[in-house]
Structure formats: C-alpha cells, structure tokens
Amino acid sequence: MRTKHLIDENVLAALLKGADEVWQAAFVHYKAPFSEHFEQRYVLSGEKSRELYRESFALVVQGLREGLIKTPLKNTIFTYLVMFGEKQLERAGHPISSGALPRRPYLAGEVLVALIRQGCSETFRSIVGYYREPIRKTLKKRYYHLNEAPEKIIGEALMAMKGNIETGKVGLPMRATLFTYTCHIARNKFLSLNKKMRKGAPLESEEELDKALNRARVEEEAPGYLDSISDLWPVLSPWLEENPDECFEKLISGLDEVSRKILRLRFVEGLKYKEIGQMLGINEGACRKKLCDILHKWRKNFFLRYVINGAPSPVREYLDLYLVKRWPFCKIANKYGRPEAEIAGLVGDYLRDWRDGNRCRGI
C-alpha cells in the first residue's frame, strides 16, 4: 500500500497508545465493518462476531501500546484487526479461507474526523505533527518550481480541514483518506495564490509571501508585462529588470506577426483575453489556447537560444527537461538514475552563474 494511505493509520496508532476516549471512538467505528466481514466470509452469528471483535481490538491496542505492532505501520489498523480475528478463529478450530485481506484505508481517517468533532484537541495536534512534512513534500514533488512550500499555506490547509470537519462539510463514510483531503486543500490554496501572482513565482518565506500578495493586488489594478513575464519564469527576473523594453524585443524575436501582436496586447497593453479575442475575431477560449501555444514556443526558443546552448553535458540535458519540457527534478532523476538533490544542485548552480553573467549584459 502507498505510504500516504498509512499516514492516517499512524496518527490513529499513536493516539491509541494514549487516551481512552480514542480507544472508545475507534472501537465503535471499526465494529460494524469487522462484524460484516466475518459474518459474510465465515458465516458467524452476530454474537460470535461481536465477541471476536472485542478480543481482536483489545489485542491490537495491547500490541500498539507494548510495541509488539511496530510503527510506522505496514498495514491498516483494520487489516491488523482482521488478522488477529482470523488467528483467534484458527485457534478455536474454525477453518480459515485464504485470500487477500481487506485493507479499508479510509476507516482511520473517519475515526480522526469523529474525534475532532468530539473536541479531542490531542487529535488535531497529532495530525499537524504527522501531516506537515508529507504535505510539503507532496506540493514540492508536484510543483517543481516551488523551492519550499510556505508554512502559511500548510497551516491554512490544516485549519481549513479542521473547520470543515467541525461544520459538517466532511461527510462519512469518506471516499479518500483525511490526509489526501488535506493535500487537496493545500493544493487549491497554492494554485489560488499562484493565480493571483500570475503563476510561478517561488516562495521561500512568509515575508516573500506577503510581498507577493501585495504585488498581486497592484497588478490587478495595472497589469504590467514585466511582472507577468518574471512570474512565469522566475529565472528571468534579474535579467528582465535591467532593461525591460530591450529584453521584451529580444524575447519576441523569431515569432510571427500574429504571435507578436497577441503578446503585446496581453503583456504590454494589459488587455484581457476577451478583448484580445474581439480584436482578432476569435472567442475567448481560442485566444487563451493561442496564447498558451505561443508561450510554449516562446519558452522553448528562448531557453534553447540563450540559456541551454552554453551549458556543458549532462547539465544541458537536465536544463532541456527542466526548463523546456517542464519536468520535475524527481522525474529527471528517475530517467538518468541519479540522486534528485544532485541534479537540482547542478541545475541551480548553472542558472545562478548564468544570471550573474548576463545580468549586466542584457544577453
């Protein structure tokens, strides 16, 4: 099972070692699925399945508290319950059928939801401790231009998850783990933030986050092509700041007249997609698609012409995948069989040297 499916399980396992209220909430929640499984698979009576469940649950909690069940867990808590139940039946002489054990990866998250609704503060503190780093890694892996996930986004996602549970927006039974649900909230907050910032500026601290949000508000009032370009590709920011008019001319060189016109209307004059579409005689969606295609070609021509050509091998190949094809470092590392940190370091060092060398030259 994938590790992220077991984060909820490990949170609940840690809680089961302590407070009795967690033990009671988990006992109530696992009872029905456990009894259903054994009554259907082994044709046990309701009374027999309930007795078996009490014995199995007590053994699982005892195993967690005494360290006999190692954490981090390798299976769901429900799987351990079924395994202990089948062992009890086998000792009693009941024939055990072979087959895959049911995992039910969402049950632990449902117990955590129930505990938060009951006002168990220890539950949320434990969730924060277990979720914080995996959420950061999830965001960084998916959005490779993110140097470090802002703590504010992660904190807002955790608080939003808690608020949604307390107001009843999180329904039971769950269709995903609570961790996955929280990651979706963090992802949406990150994308919403980047949308305000015109997509792409990396954030390394809360101070940078505040500056970026303030800049986004100014851009909404008076959009400028320089900020738009630098947000699309943060690596260009220092170079663009030296001589924006000359840089823009060089960036659009090599494009056809229609593409140049669309870029000027969008980034220089700050027109909206609908207005550009009306001027060109196309609808808003077609205008967006056209601009997206232009930016892809633009990015490819620029990086190949100015940035990648002078790079030594194998950095040249890494840069092509990272800048042009927009691959994350983890994917590049898998392709070449080298550590992700090593590839990120080589690319970062080269881009820093390139920026320093071209900052005053205007390329």
Nearest to 146 by CA among 200, 219, 217, 88: 200
For residue 204, being part of any structural domain is answered with: no
For residue 42, being part of any structural domain is answered with: yes
Report residue 64's pLDDT band, with 50, 70 and 90 as the boundaries. very high
3-state secondary structure 328-356: CHHHHHHHHCCCHHHHHHHHHHHHHHHHH
* Host domain of residue 247: 234-358
Q: Please tell me the predicted confidence (pLDDT) of residue 203.
A: 46
For residue 162, being part of any structural domain is answered with: no
For residue 130, being part of any structural domain is answered with: no
> Of 109, 130, 150, which one is at a domain's C-terminal end?
109
Total number of domains in the chain: 2
For residues 230 and 238, what is the distance between their CA atoms, to the nearest angstrom?
9
For residue 293, being part of any structural domain is answered with: yes
Residues 140-196 pLDDT 10s: 776 655 554 567 788 888 998 999 999 998 988 888 899 999 998 888 887 776 555
For residue 219, being part of any structural domain is answered with: no
Q: Please tell me the predicted confidence (pLDDT) of residue 216.
A: 42
For residue 196, being part of any structural domain is answered with: no
More confident position, 175 or 116: 116
**Maximum Cα–Cα distance for the chain, whole Å?**
85
Report residue 251's pLDDT band, with 50, 70 and 90 as the boundaries. low
> Lowest-pLDDT range, 59-68, 103-112, 125-134, 343-352?
343-352
> Of 65, 91, 109, which one is at a domain's C-terminal end?
109
By percentage, how much of the chain surpasses pLDDT 90?
25
Residues 134-153 pLDDT 10s: 988 888 776 655 554 567 78
For residue 350, being part of any structural domain is answered with: yes
pTM comes to 0.55
Report residue 332's pLDDT band, with 50, 70 and 90 as the boundaries. confident
> Of 109, 136, 169, which one is at a domain's C-terminal end?
109
Question: Are the C-beta atoms of 142 and 330 separated by less than 8 Å?
Answer: no
Residues 222-245 pLDDT 10s: 333 334 344 444 445 444 445 555
Query: What would the mean pLDDT of 102-119 be, rounded to a whole number?
Result: 90
Token pair in block for residue 147: 């140097």
Report residue 4's pLDDT band, with 50, 70 and 90 as the boundaries. low
**Chain-wide mean pLDDT for the chain?**
77
Residue 346 vs residues 49, 139, 312, 331: alpha-carbon distances, Å: 60, 22, 11, 15
Query: What would the mean pLDDT of 289-304 be, rounded to a whole number?
Result: 74
Residues 66-100 pLDDT 10s: 999 998 998 899 999 999 999 999 888 888 877 77
